[in-house]
Chains A and B, each alone.
Chain A
Amino acid sequence: MAPKKVEPKKPEPKKPEPKKEEAPAPAPVPETPKEPELDLKSIALEFTADQIEEFKDAFTLFDETPTGEMKIRYAQCGEVMRALGHNPTNADVLTVLGKPKAEEMNAKYLDFETFLPMLQHISRAKDQGTFEDFVEGLRVFDKEGNGTVMGAELRHVLATLGEKMTEDEVDRLMAGQEDANGCINYTSFIKHILSG
Chain B
Amino acid sequence: MGCGVSKNSEFNKRYDKVKNLRHVLLKAMKAAVLIQRWYRQYAARMEMRRRYTWNIFQSMEYADLQDQMKLYNFLGYLMDNFTPSSSERNLISHIFRENEVCRDAEWERYFSYINIDVPDIYSGPRLTFPLDMDQVADLVEAFKNKQQLHSRYVLQLLLETWKLLRGLPNINRVSTCHSKEITICGDLHGQLEDLLLIFYKNGMPSMEKPYVFNGDFVDRGKDSIEILLILFAFLLVYPGDVYLNRGNHEDHIINLRYGFTKEVLGKYKLHGKRILKLLQKIFSWLPLVTVIDHRVLIVHGGISDTTDLALIARVDRHKYVSALKPPRKKTPSRSSLYADSERFDEMNICKNRRGSMTFPRPLGTRESFQRRSLQDFSRTVARTVEEEFEVRRRQAEFSMSSFSNSQRILGSAPSTESEPDSSEIIDTGSDDWKQILDLLWSDPMSQDGCVPNEVRGGGCYWGPDITEHFLNRHNLQLIIRSHECKQDGYEFCHNRKVLTLFSASNYYEIGSNRGAFVRLGPDLVPYFVQYQATTLTRGLSFRQSLKRTEHTALKVLREQLFVHKSDLLSAFKELDKENTGLICLSDWANAIERVLQLDLPWRVLQPQLVSSTTDGMLDYHGWFRDLALKRPSSECIEQSMLETLYKHRSTLETIFRIVDTDNSGLISFEDFRQTLKLLSAYLKMEISEEVINELVISTDTNNDGSIDIDEFMEAFQLVDKIRLERGKSLLKFKQEYQNLPLEEETSPSADSTGPQISQCSALHTEDSPGSHTEDCSSSKTQDLCDISVVVPPQ
Contacts and interface: CB of A to CB of B under 8 A. Distances in A.
B44 interface: yes
Taking residues whose C-beta sits less than 8 angstroms from the other chain, chain B's interface range is: 35 or more
B27 A137 contact: yes
Interface string B5-31: 000000000000000000010011111
Interface stretch (A22-30, A37-45, A80-88, A98-106): A80-88
Greatest chain A CB density within 10 A among B29, B41, B740 is at B41
B34 A137 contact: yes
Interface in A60-114: 60-62, 66-67, 78-83, 85-90
A183 interface: no
Interface string B24-65: 100111111111111111111101100110010000000000
Contacts of A3: none
Given A49-B586, A82-B44, 13 more contacts: A13-B30, A58-B601, A80-B44, A82-B40, A83-B48, A129-B38, A136-B31, A141-B28, A157-B31, A162-B36, A163-B33, A173-B42, A176-B743
Contacts of B543: 175
A193 B39 contact: yes
Nearest to B604: A57
A86 B41 contact: yes
B472 interface: no
5 contacts: A57-B603, A79-B43, A89-B36, A172-B542, A173-B42
A82 B543 CA distance: 17
B585 interface: yes
A53 B603 CA distance: 8
Given A175-B542, A176-B541, A188-B740, A54 B45 contact: no
B669 interface: no
Given A158-B35, A196-B42, A83 B47 contact: yes
A87 B27 contact: no
B589 interface: yes
B586 A53 contact: yes
B45 A158 contact: no
Nearest to A87: B41
Contacts of A62: 48, 51
B38 A61 contact: no
A79 to B, nearest CB: 5
A61 B58 CA distance: 13
Please name the 4 residue pairs, one residue from A and one from B, whose CB atoms are nearest each other, closest first: A137-B31, A82-B44, A57-B601, A87-B41
A96 to B, nearest CB: 15
Contact of B604 (A50, A54, A87): A54
A124 interface: no
A165 interface: yes
Interface string B114-149: 000000000000000000000000000000000000
B568 to A, nearest CB: 19
A58 B605 CA distance: 10
A10 interface: no
A88 B38 CA distance: 9
Contact of A140 (B27, B35, B40): B27
Interface residues of A, number: 51
Contacts of B542: 172, 175
* Main DSSP-derived SS at the A contact region: helix
B493 interface: yes
A5 interface: no
Residue among A57, A60, A62, A172 having the largest count of chain B Cβ atoms under 10 Å:
A57
A133 interface: yes
Given A61-B604, A80-B44, A172-B542, A193 B36 contact: no
B90 to A, nearest CB: 51
A161 B29 contact: yes
A194 B41 CA distance: 10
A61 B51 contact: yes
Interface string A109-141: 000000000000000000001000110111011
Interface of B: 24, 27-45, 47-48, 51-52, 55, 446, 493, 541-543, 585-586, 589, 601-604, 738, 740, 743-744
Contacts of A165: 36, 39
Contacts of A196: 41-42, 45
Most A-side CB within 10 Å, residue of B29, B42, B543? B42
Contact of A162 (B33, B45, B604, B743): B33
A175 B29 contact: no
A169 interface: yes
B586 to A, nearest CB: 5
Nearest to A175: B541
A191 B603 contact: no
Given A60-B601, A136-B27, A162-B32, A79 B586 contact: no
Contact of A66 (B27, B55, B493, B738): B493
Nearest to A93: B40
Contacts of A129: 34, 37-38
Contacts of A176: 541, 743-744
Nearest to B36: A163
B748 to A, nearest CB: 16
A196 B541 CA distance: 13
Given A87-B40, A137-B27, A50 B34 contact: no
A82 B41 contact: yes
Contacts of B42: 173, 193, 196
B36 A158 contact: yes
Nearest to B737: A191
Given A54-B603, A83-B48, A137 B28 contact: yes
B43 A172 contact: yes
Contacts of A175: 541-543
Nearest to A64: B51
A77 to B, nearest CB: 11
Given A61-B51, A158-B35, A176-B744, A83 B45 contact: yes
Contacts of B34: 13, 129, 133-134, 137
Nearest to B602: A57
Contact of B446 (A66, A85, A88): A66
A173 B32 CA distance: 13
Contacts of B603: 50, 53-54, 57
A140 B24 contact: yes
Contacts of B48: 58, 61-62, 83
Contact of B28 (A53, A81, A161, A194): A161
A145 to B, nearest CB: 14
B670 to A, nearest CB: 51
A129 B35 CA distance: 9
Contacts of B743: 176
Contacts of B27: 136-137, 140
Nearest to A194: B38
Contacts of B744: 176
Contact of B30 (A66, A137, A172): A137
Among A53, A140, A169, which residue has the most Cβ atoms of chain B within 10 A?
A: A140
Contacts of A173: 35, 39, 42
Nearest to A134: B34
Contacts of A89: 33, 36-37
A171 B32 CA distance: 15
Contacts of A54: 603-604
Contacts of A88: 37
